[in-house]
Amino acid sequence: MFKIISIVGARPNFMKVAPINRAFESVEECEHIIVHTGQHYDKNMSDSFFEDLDIAHPKYFLGVGSGTHSQQTATIMIEFEKILDIEKPDMVIVVGDVNSTLACTLTAVKKNVPVSHIEAGLRSFDRTMPEEINRLATDAICNYAFVSEPSGLEYLLNESFPEENIFSVGNTMIDSQHYGLEKLSKREDILSELPDKDYALITIHRPSNVDFEEQLTMLVNVLNDFSKKMHLIFPVHPRTAKNLEKFNLKHLIFDNPNITVYEPLSYMRFLNFMKNAKVVVTDSGGIQEETTALQVPCITLRNSTERPITVEIGTNELVIPKKELIETALEIMLRGEFKKGNIPDLWDGKAAERIRNIILELLKK
């Protein structure tokens, strides 16, 4: 009997681990355990992910909570080491690029437990992003790298990662999307939430966009102007809501009749709005992939992206977050001149099955 632990710590991790969990459920010789670090935790949101994605509830919840990057990383390491001592797993699976990813990798590797990194090799080349540091450090010490797009393979090889331990498997985030779309087709309660007019879906939360008054004010003004031409659906991230309040901008969004504001949405509700949007405006990483798979136009308000395949062949346009450039991108979209994208190879909803098969082969060696 093999024992594998998968780590979830923040919202995107659920989408990446859920299909892996389902893939291992059918393997009798393997016990798959989920550990939730609680790095980002909201009971209602977590419960909705378990329901929407049919993910097993974690065997362990570490309850780390918020804090500085150092506090989170250190606390996760201390608590996760206790789990490793109890469970003695044959492998640890980490996904993505949050603090939990790095903390659990460090802890496992130092205890000689092999680590597989799902979504390895992604690089934004922006070291001001905490996620970039987590990616670099995790890939420097993990044992096996599972890549979701060609750039991941290229960058890992450039960093001298052993080629025989790199596997191109596709994208488990898209596995969850395939699974969610099938469930969504039967959810009239969610489908009925769609507005009866064209709309843009907005998600903005990165510190570079929302932590500085001048930048956030500019974005709010651009969105207000754009809302006169197209209705906006805006699930407001807690960090964004806090800064809208801090900089006295909240009324410009919340009191605008052309903007429908939501608290953070469940996976299925967000998928419904994203699938049917005329355009998505975001600074998220995963949403760039999800919109490409859905073939929905996406404007990403960042200086760089760690997911270049979404720009090269997908529906994503990388737009430096400056007023004139954003307005130009939105005008192009309104004219219907936005590019039509293709779906990358292996983004077929079967990445988790490929990961499971490879990991079982590795464990049997």
* Catalytic positions, written as ranges: 205
CA atoms within 13 A on the CB side of 68: 3
Amino acid at 304: S
Which token pair is 77? 């390491």
What is the rounded distance in angstroms from the CA atom of residue 324 to the CA atom of residue 200? 19
**Residue 298 near residue 279 (C-beta atoms within 8 A):** yes
> How far are the Cα atoms of 144, 169, 182, 356 from residue 152, in angstroms, in the given order?
13, 11, 29, 19
Residue environment code for 11-49, b if the CB has 16+ CB neighbours within 10 A, otherwise e: bbbbbbbbbbbbbbeeeeebbbbbbbbbbbbeeebbebb
Which token pair is 294? 């859905």
Name beta bridge partners: 280.
Answer: 201, 298
Q: Where are the alpha helices (DSSP H) in the chain?
A: 11-25, 43-53, 69-87, 99-110, 130-141, 150-158, 172-184, 188-191, 207-210, 213-227, 238-246, 250-254, 267-275, 286-294, 309-312, 323-334, 351-364
What is the rounded distance in angstroms from the CA atom of residue 138 to the CA atom of residue 115? 9
